[in-house]
Structure 1
Amino acid sequence: MYSDTKRELQDLGDGLFAWVQGDGSWGWSNSGLITGADDKSLVVDTLFTGRLTEDMLAAYRRADPAAATIDMLVNTHSNGDHTFGNHLVGGARIIASEAARDEMEERPAGFFKAAAADPDAYGVFGEFLHTFMGKTFDFSDIEHVPPTEVFKGARTLTVGGRTVELTELGPAHTRGDVIVHVPDARVCFTGDLVFHGGHPIMWAGPVGNWIAACDHILGLDVDVIVPGHGAVSDKTAVRALRDYFVHILAQTTTCFEAGLSWEDAAYEVGYAAFDSWLDRERVVANVATIYRDLSGGSVAPEQAEVLAQMLRYSRGATCPHDEPCQCHKVG
């Protein structure tokens, strides 16, 4: 299983590595390894399943003796494709933001395991999981292992004499997004604050926070960006993502001011630009979140509504309605 997806270790130099999976689409997330003196090591994120995480850790061990024992694991946020393999890091300290820890408790690994095993029993969430991820990933070997240490704002770690800076920049993608910056290597592991080559998905927002997070990353003295999904890059990927959110915000605001519903706006905005990026159905969630903020919370779609429209969008619908309509007349 998983042999049809390219998964590879990339040596970033100076004792740093990235584990990059596939094209970065649904569930195919990235991880990182940071090593220091005295065989000390830190892993950035585990993966969606136990098997995927085991393969990654084996690759790290082959690459550097320091990975034989993982001293610290940083979860950049709560999503399962960055946390469901936490149980495989042994006695490592597991560090995340307080908000990420809280989100992990709200929908733990057991929920995904049950929904994948019987999607019909979990309504639209089960259908969504089965459609986008359940046919690809085996969730039978995942476990709920939350962080052992949490923080707010910023925290500095030392890995074998090497400084590693954690900075909380959420809420944006999720409520507790954190980046991992290695100043001496000029590398930043961004978690899902950067998607490269695919549409991001804004579960939390507001969009202004995500734009500010991009600005923060762009202000760092780094040469290498390891995104949460997609190919390793430089700041070019961050600038492209920032442009995306500026575009989405402007287009969504036009639709909101014209009186369109959030559903109509999602299709209007979604078919306007960035067609070459993967997972275009995520525009639906992004527009829904922006509508929530533009309306001051008076338009706040339930997650089930958003997932249902994302499913419809992914299946080729050109509007959210069953009959022909006039929803593509703005912009």
Structure 2
Amino acid sequence: MTSQSWTYAKGLHDLGHGSWAWLQPDGGWGWSNAGLIVDGDQSLLVDTLFDARLTAAMLDAMSDATGLSGDDIGTVVNTHANGDHTHGNGLCRHAEIIASEASAKEMAEVDAAMLHTMMTAAPNLGPSGKYLLDIFGNFDFANVAERAPTRTFTGELGLRIGDKPVSLIEVGPAHTAGDVLVHLPEDRIVYTGDILFIDGTPIMWAGPVGNWIAACDKILAMDVEAIVPGHGPITDKAGVRKVQTYLRYIDHEARKRFEAGLSVRDAAHDIALGDYASWIDSERIAVNVDTLYREYRGDTSPPNIVALFSLMAELKR
């Protein structure tokens, strides 16, 4: 079965074996994917969505397909800390919520209230504010259902959902501090979270880039036929290789400009995107270059988020 077997349409897609993918085109900022695994009377939800309204609609569709409501979900796994994968956790009131230890720490540091405050201020922030409204204006950060992880792990964690083995594999820091893959070895399915953006530009908040490239290698070594990315259409190993090639290309191009003494801003403007220019959200190169520059310097301080969104707005214009 190839990735062409699935259409990229909004809603629930049956992967077989009691597994589903929830897709949200166009896969851009905030339009994330999720998944559901059911065996017998046990269930696992891979990620929730950016606000309560979107998550409730997803859970309603999953209930129509399986008879399981949000209150029936036994386990939620958050693949990483970003709100578009966590802000509906609270609609699964009785679930054990599992995340990597690093992700749980990140979730506590950046909550929906901060996003709501930022968006409230956006109309007064000029071009940067317009950019924020363009990318996040469809989401309601005043109406979320946040719920922190109740169980954390590092490395790998094996679960059973009914008779189905599920392996949680920590591959971060990469996209974020604590990225996790959800692998169903017997069913040849993997949910990757934001280790994969398909037909969209990956964004490297954490790095190092070598960890992200290695995470792609880990997926490529799996015997899988359905690969559900964090954003974009269901893919195959060719899609994984494209993401990996982008990461290697940006690393190579950023390193040249770093060694030539260019600033992050100048490098982000200067790097030719070529085939990658057709991927949505190409302005994320600003974040990727900044993260790579900090890696090259050995700088472990957090990124200047305000400055990076300003630079992305500039590149988008």
Structure 1 pair 145–304 and aligned structure 2 pair: CA distance change class (3 A): same
Structure 1 pair 126–111 and aligned structure 2 pair: CA distance change class (3 A): farther
1:90 corresponds in structure 2 to 93
Structure 1 gaps, min length 5: 316-331
The alignment status of 1:204 with 2:206, answered yes or no, reads: yes
Give 1:89 deviation, angstroms.
Answer: 0.7
Give 1:124 deviation, angstroms.
Answer: 9.2
1:129 corresponds in structure 2 to 132
Q: Name the amino acid aligned to 2:39.
A: G
1:105 corresponds in structure 2 to 108
- How big is each residue's C-alpha offset from its partner over 1:126-168, in whole Å with a ceiling of 9 and x where there is no partner? 66532311x2112221133110111111101110121100010
TM-score w.r.t. the length of structure 2 is: 0.92
Residues 128 and 313 of structure 2 are in contact (CA less than 8 Å); yes or no, is this contact kept in structure 1?
no
2:5 corresponds in structure 1 to none
The alignment status of 1:17 with 2:24, answered yes or no, reads: no
1:34 corresponds in structure 2 to 37
Structure 2 gaps, min length 5: 1-7
2:287 corresponds in structure 1 to 285
The alignment status of 1:81 with 2:84, answered yes or no, reads: yes
Give, in whole Å, the separation in 1 of the partners of 2:100 and 2:293. Answer: 27
Instruction: Compare relative contact order (CA 8 Å, sep 6+) and give the higher one, 1 or 2.
Output: 2
User: What's the secondary structure of 2:288's corresponding residue?
Assistant: helix
Give, in whole Å, the separation in 1 of the partners of 2:169 and 2:300. Answer: 31
- How big is each residue's C-alpha offset from its partner over 1:261-315, in whole Å with a ceiling of 9 and x where there is no partner? 1211111125444111110000110011111111222998522222211111111
Structure 1 pair 92–301 and aligned structure 2 pair: CA distance change class (3 A): closer
The alignment status of 1:71 with 2:113, answered yes or no, reads: no
Instruction: State, as a whole percentage, how many aligned pairs show the same letter.
Output: 47
The alignment status of 1:237 with 2:239, answered yes or no, reads: yes
2:267 corresponds in structure 1 to 265
- How big is each residue's C-alpha offset from its partner over 1:88-125, in whole Å with a ceiling of 9 and x where there is no partner? 01210000001101001111122222332343588998
Q: Which of these two proteins has the greater Rg computed from alpha carbons? A: 1
Q: Which of residues 167, 170, 183 is equivalent to 1:168?
A: 170
Residues 87 and 143 of structure 1 are in contact (CA less than 8 Å); yes or no, is this contact kept in structure 2?
yes
Residues 200 and 282 of structure 1 are in contact (CA less than 8 Å); yes or no, is this contact kept in structure 2?
yes
1:151 corresponds in structure 2 to 153
Give, in whole Å, the separation in 1 of the partners of 2:86 and 2:131. Answer: 20
The 5 Å alignment of 1:216-255 reads 216-255=218-257
Cα RMSD, aligned residues only: 2.1
